[in-house]
Amino acid sequence: MSAPTYKVLNPATGKIVEEFPTATDEQVEQALASAQSGYESWQNVDINERAKIVSKVAQLFADKADELGKIMTLEMGKPLSEAVGEAEYCKDIFEYFATEGPTLAADQEIKSFSGGKAVVQRRPVGPLLGIMPWNFPLYQVARFAAPNLMLGNTIVLKHAESCPRSALAIQEIMDEAGVPAGVYNNVFATHDQISTIIADSRIQGVSLTGSERAGAIIGEQAGRNLKKAVLELGGSDPFVVLDSNDVAGIAETAWGFRIDNTGQACNSNKRMIIMEDIFDDFVTELTKRADGLTPGDPMAEVDGTFAPMSSRKAAEDLHAQVQDAVSKGATLHTGGVLQDGPAAYYSPAVLSGVTKDMRAYYEELFGPVAVVYKVSSDEQALELANDTIYGLGGSVHSTDEARAAKVAMGLQSGMANVNSPAAEGAEMPFGGVKRSGFGRELGPLGMEEFVNKRLFYIGD
C-alpha cells in the first residue's frame, strides 16, 4: 500500500489548507512504549477515578463544540450544524460510559456448585489500536475510546489521513481533561506502520471502522497476529415502507435520514423498498426534496443548498456508480450532477429502476443518492431487503406495528428498527453481521469487546 499523507483539504474548494508529516518509526515506537507504560498505571486506577476524568472529557467536547464543528466541516465538508451536533453527541457518549461504566464493569458472581466462590471480573486487556474514518471524525473515535478508557485499556489512535486537525483536537481534549500521559496516543501512522503496530506484542486488539476493503486487510493482519478485532464496516441498509397514510411524511423521514452527513454514513438508508400502491407518490415526494438544490458553503448552510462530499474522489466514485445504473436503464429522477472543478459537490439524487446487473444494486452508495425499489408484497420486500452482502441495520415502516415487526424480525442485520429509521444513542449497541463486520460499539455491549472476563475463584 502507498504511504498516506495527512492533510486538510477543504472539499468545498478542493484546496489544501495544511499538511502534516507522517510519523517516523521512532515516533511509532514511542507511542507503543507510552501506551504500554500508560497501561501499567491506568489499569490500577480505581474505575470511579477514571470515570471522573472521562466525565471531564465529555464536558470538554460540549464546551468546544463550535470550534470542533468548524474543524470537521473544513476537513470533510459536512454542514456545520451537523458537525457541532456531532461534537455534542460525543459529550453524551463519554458521559454515558463515565456514568454507567462502573456498573457495567462490576464483578458478576456466578453460582458455584463446588463450594467455593466464583466471580467473573471485567479486567482490561492492555493497549489497543483504533483505526478511525473521516465520516464522523469525532464520534467514531468517541465510541471506541470512551468504553475502553473506562475499562482501563490504553489507546493508540490512527485517524483518517484527511482529518489530522480533528485527530489533534481529540488528543488535546484528552490531555486537558487529565487523561494521564500514555493512555491516549494519537499517531499519524502510515499503512506499513499500522501493520507493525498490529504485530507488536504490546498491542492486544484492534478496532476499525471503515470500508469493507480496509476491514478485510486489518482483519487478516489481526488474525495472523492472534489479536481480537472489532470491525465496523459498510452497509446498504433497507428502509422498507409496507403502507402509509402519510406518504409525504414518510418520504420526509426517509430523505432526512438519507441526506444526513451528505449520505456518508455506514447505516444510512441506502435502499428504500416501497410497496407498489404508494411507490409513485413516494418517489415524487423524494424528488421534490432533492430537486433544485444548489452547491453551498457547508459553513454557511444557506437554505436550498447542499454540502460537498468528503473528497473529489468520493464524488467521482459515486458518480460512476450512478452513471453505470443510468447507462443500463435506471431512471434518474433528479440530481446526480458532478460539479466541474476540484471541489466535491455532487447533487443529491433519486434513482429508481435499479436491477441486479447494475453496480448500484449490490455496491454501497456512500453519498447523497436515494435508490428506490418497488415491491408488491411483504415477502418480496423482505427478500429484497436481505439481498445484500451487508447486514448493518434496517427499518420497516407500517401503520400496523405488528406487520412491520414481523418483517423486521426477518432482517439479516445487526440492528432492526420498526417505525424508526434507526435507534441511535450512546446507550444503543451498534454493529452488523455479514460483510458489515463484527463486534459492537456503544451501549452495554460496547464495554464487552476488549475486556478480559476473568474467572476469579476462591476455593472453600
Catalytic residues: 232, 266
- Is 104 one of the binding residues for ligand O=CCCC(=O)O (CB under 6 A)? no
One character per residue 428-457, x = contact with ligand O=CCCC(=O)O (rule: CB under 6 A): --x---------------------------
Residue nearest to ligand O=CCCC(=O)O (CB): 266
Helices and strands in the chain: count of H runs, count of E runs: 14, 22
Tell the smallest beta-carbon distance from residue 87 to ligand O=CCCC(=O)O (Å): 14
> Which cell goes with 218?
486489518
Looking at the Cβ atoms of 122 and 143, the one nearer to ligand O=CCCC(=O)O is 143
Looking at the Cβ atoms of 23 and 132, the one nearer to ligand O=CCCC(=O)O is 132
Looking at the Cβ atoms of 155 and 422, the one nearer to ligand O=CCCC(=O)O is 422
> Which cell goes with 6?
495527512
Q: Helix (H, G, I), strand (E, B), or coil: what is residue 226?
A: coil
In eight-state DSSP terms, residue 357 is: T
Tell the smallest beta-carbon distance from residue 235 to ligand O=CCCC(=O)O (Å): 8
Other CB atoms within 10 A of residue 2 CB: 7
Tell the smallest beta-carbon distance from residue 137 to ligand O=CCCC(=O)O (Å): 11
Structural contact between residues 83 and 139, judged by C-beta atoms closer than 8 angstroms? no
Tell the smallest beta-carbon distance from residue 428 to ligand O=CCCC(=O)O (Å): 9
Residue with cell 463515565: 98
One character per residue 258-297, x = contact with ligand O=CCCC(=O)O (rule: CB under 6 A): -------xxx------------------------------
- Is 395 one of the binding residues for ligand O=CCCC(=O)O (CB under 6 A)? no
Tell the smallest beta-carbon distance from residue 419 to ligand O=CCCC(=O)O (Å): 18
Beta strands 127-131; 205-209: pairing state: parallel
Tell the smallest beta-carbon distance from residue 77 to ligand O=CCCC(=O)O (Å): 15
Tell the smallest beta-carbon distance from residue 430 to ligand O=CCCC(=O)O (Å): 6
Task: Please report the sign of the dihedral spanned by the C-alpha atoms of residue 321, residue 323, residue 327, residue 329.
Answer: positive
One character per residue 121-160, x = contact with ligand O=CCCC(=O)O (rule: CB under 6 A): --------------xx------------------------
184's CB contacts (< 8 A; 6+ apart) are 145, 149, 154, 155, 157, 170, 171, 174
CA gyration radius for the chain?
23
Looking at the Cβ atoms of 337 and 423, the one nearer to ligand O=CCCC(=O)O is 423
Looking at the Cβ atoms of 260 and 285, the one nearer to ligand O=CCCC(=O)O is 260
Q: What whole-number distance in Å separates Cα of residue 66 and Cα of residue 46?
A: 33
Looking at the Cβ atoms of 133 and 182, the one nearer to ligand O=CCCC(=O)O is 133
The distance between the two most distant Cα atoms of the chain, rounded to a whole number of Å, is 77
Structural contact between residues 366 and 314, judged by C-beta atoms closer than 8 angstroms? yes
- Is 417 one of the binding residues for ligand O=CCCC(=O)O (CB under 6 A)? no
Instruction: Label residues 250-282 b or e (16+ Cβ within 10 Å = b).
Output: bbebbbebbbbbbbbbbbbbbbbbbbeebbeeb
Residue with cell 451536533: 85
Q: What whole-number distance in Å separates Cα of residue 13 and Cα of residue 26?
A: 35
Residue 457 half-sphere exposure toward CB, CA atoms < 13 A = 9
**Crossing angle between the packed helical segments 47-63 and 65-76, to the nearest 10 degrees:** 70
Residues lying near ligand O=CCCC(=O)O in the complex (CB under 6 A) are found at: 135-136, 265-267, 424, 430
